[in-house]
A and B are shown apart, each in its own frame.
Chain A
Amino acid sequence: MNTDLDIIFENLSFAYHSRPILEDVNLQIQKGEFASIVGPNGGGKTTLLKLILGLIKPDQGKIQVFGKSPEKAREKIGYMPQYAHLDMAFPATVLDIVLMGRLARKKLWFSKQDRSLAHTAIDEVDMAAYIHTGFSELSGGQKQRVLIARALCSNPSILLLDEPTANVDQETEENLFSILKKLNMDMTILLVSHDLGFVSKYVKSVICVNRRVVIHPTTLMDGALIKDIYHGDLKMVRHDHRCSEGGHSCD
């Protein structure tokens, strides 16, 4: 077993109501990777995350996380769902939400240690000033940071983020990525991006998902490749201005 690989997909296929979502996926994620998962809507991005989490099972092939089944590896995976799926009016403070990351089968109540870990995680996403603020009173970007803190609170080795840049402005997005860059020193990060063709300068690889899955180092990304991934549907490709900055060579 190659210990440098966090996640391995082998000949994996998944269909939903006999409609193929992912086909013949072979993918290896290195430890310390910082990858953006891109692709058209319904192309299978969220499905890929849910397979890694073991929330759904592949129809064919297999997936291993840290050399184990996803269910067994789950404890070391931090997950940030799309916050739009959550109840925005739910009565809870930032601390209440982040403490969910300390939920465990074996204990009923949170210990002092759980609380101090939650405080640390909240510090890491720069939300310490809001610790007792109601979740519903926060802006979209702040909610996302709280959900990242919740994922961090479980002390993960892999961080999975589903659309962390949805509905946030440019500045919030910059802040988010500088936090993620810092976290990437300790953990593997995979994030789903709704922005087709958009890649942050901190991202090391791009995983393109459209029924088939291909991973590219960002240095090799170019317009032709993106065009190929989206079957030439260039209307959907938006090149963010940062796309040409840093690690890209758009020749």
Chain B
Amino acid sequence: MITGAAKEAIPVIEFFNALADPDNLFLQYAVIMGGLASISFGIIGTFVTTKRIGYLAGAISHSVFGGIGFALYLQVKIGLAWVDPIMGAIFAAVLSALIVGLVSIYAKEREDTIIGTLWAVGMAAGILFIDRTPGYFNLSSYLFGDILLISFKDLVYVICLDILVLGISILFFNRFFGVCFDSEYTSLRGIHTGFFYLFLLVLTALTVVLLVRIVGIVLVIALLTIPPAIASFYARRLWQMMVYSILLCTFFTWAGLGISYSYSLSSGPTIIILSGAAYLVLLVIHKLIK
């Protein structure tokens, strides 16, 4: 078969053909989602990486599972039809962001304990809620993401998030810069660093909720931190690191999507393996040059 042979030979072309097919709306949504979401991921990921709070983002993302489980429970078991899993996800993410933020400001020595607890309790609560909720749920799409399940509603959410993240980052860029580089000095300049730190964590929480749609709870930290980690090899200034991260994140989601579609692989893990491999290769090259 000619088509079969062509598919084997040049899967990339096959992917573009599928993308152009108006019947494959899900694929177009996935591509648009990947590009739009990369804006928030790149900006927030840069803050998270430079402030070195990747593990906080990890705790937030795992607590999201508890929120999703709780929302499904309310929706199906209790019958609150208006409850959407994303509401539970946002609620859990913001709540855990505020908890870890306040703990790290006021009781630094307990930080890692609290983070570990939120991480595990979030996952456990999610599973228990789903146990008590009738019906079948595709757990793996929450855990590892499925960009091909993206709906039009998700695109609206991501546009809102992009506007929020871009607007706030431009408005408070210098304050966030100060909080990430030298929080103590920034507070001496009269800036309320505690407030901006919490603000940053809440933005991280909202971004993580969206990330979960694409790469899933377990893989969130990777897509949030790998593009900025690569960007940091080449960027000399914070905003440059953001721009590079956005471009890299877009590339990884699109390329990962293309590969996963062509070879029938799960999209989230494909994106992560691709970015992880790129990071390792570039890290070695970077070290060799230096």
Identify the A interface with B (CB < 8 A). 53, 55, 74-75, 77, 79, 81, 86-87, 89-93, 96-97, 99-101, 103-105, 108-110, 134, 150, 154
Contacts and interface: CB of A to CB of B under 8 A. Distances in A.
Interface string B166-179: 00000111110110
B188 A74 contact: yes
A91 B190 contact: no
A108 B189 contact: no
A86 B175 contact: no
B196 to A, nearest CB: 11
Contacts of A99: 174
A88 B171 CA distance: 26
B189 A103 contact: yes
Contacts of B181: 86-87, 90, 92, 97, 100
Given A92-B238, A93-B237, A105-B190, A79 B174 contact: no
Interface of B: 50, 52, 171-175, 177-178, 180-182, 184-192, 232, 235-238, 240-241
11 contacts: A53-B188, A55-B187, A74-B188, A74-B190, A86-B181, A87-B52, A96-B237, A100-B182, A103-B174, A105-B192, A109-B174
B189 A100 contact: yes
Contacts of B190: 74-75, 103-105
Contacts of A109: 173-174
A150 B188 CA distance: 12
Contacts of B175: 103, 108
Contacts, number: 75
Contacts of A101: 189
A90 B50 contact: yes
A156 to B, nearest CB: 11
Contacts of A104: 189-190
A105 B240 CA distance: 25
A91 B182 contact: no
A233 B180 CA distance: 41
Contacts of A103: 174-175, 178, 186, 189-191
A91 B50 contact: yes
Contact of B235 (A55, A75, A81, A91): A91
A131 B4 CA distance: 59
- Listed from nearest, the 5 A-B pairs whose CB atoms lie closest are A103-B189, A105-B190, A134-B236, A91-B241, A91-B235
Contacts of B171: 108
Contact of A91 (B52, B187, B188, B238): B238
Given A55-B188, A87-B52, A90-B180, A108 B172 contact: yes
A79 to B, nearest CB: 6
A105 to B, nearest CB: 4
Given A87-B50, A93-B236, A101-B189, 14 more contacts: A74-B188, A77-B188, A79-B185, A86-B182, A91-B232, A91-B236, A93-B237, A99-B174, A100-B182, A103-B186, A103-B191, A104-B190, A108-B174, A108-B175
A158 to B, nearest CB: 12
Nearest to B189: A103
B227 to A, nearest CB: 14
Contacts of B238: 90-92, 96
A101 B35 CA distance: 36
A6 B185 CA distance: 21
A93 B235 CA distance: 10
A110 B52 contact: no
Nearest to A137: B236
Contacts of B172: 108
